[in-house]
């Protein structure tokens, strides 16, 4: 439903399942969060056919 109701390229990222203890613990790990974020950035750059530029600036939003 979510991907059919938008008029632009979209993706749902599922980094794991909260019902799985090991995956839930991973998703709470800041290093894992950065790794998933970087993988998502790579995927978007690949889709747009633009070079990926790694930065080391991370901001905590909460």
pLDDT at 58: 67
Q: Which residues of 18-51 are buried (b: 16+ CB within 10 A; e: fewer)?
A: eeeeeeeebeeeeeeeeebeeeeeeeeeeeeeee
* 4 SS3 class: coil
CA–CA dist 9, 37 (Å, integer):
18
Work out the average pLDDT over 44-49.
Answer: 93
Query: At residue 56, does pLDDT exceed 80?
Result: no
pLDDT tens digits along 15-24: 999 999 999 9
Segment 41-48 long-range contacts (CB within 8 Å, at least 24 positions apart): 43/11, 47/9
Where along the chain do its domains lie? 1-62
């Amino acid at each position: 439903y979510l991907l059919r109701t938008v008029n632009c390229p979209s993706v749902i990222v599922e980094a794991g399942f909260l019902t799985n203890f090991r995956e839930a613990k991973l998703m709470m790990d800041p290093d894992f969060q950065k790794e998933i974020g970087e993988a998502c950035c790579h995927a978007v750059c690949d889709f747009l056919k633009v070079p990926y530029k790694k930065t080391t600036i991370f901001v905590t939003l909460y």
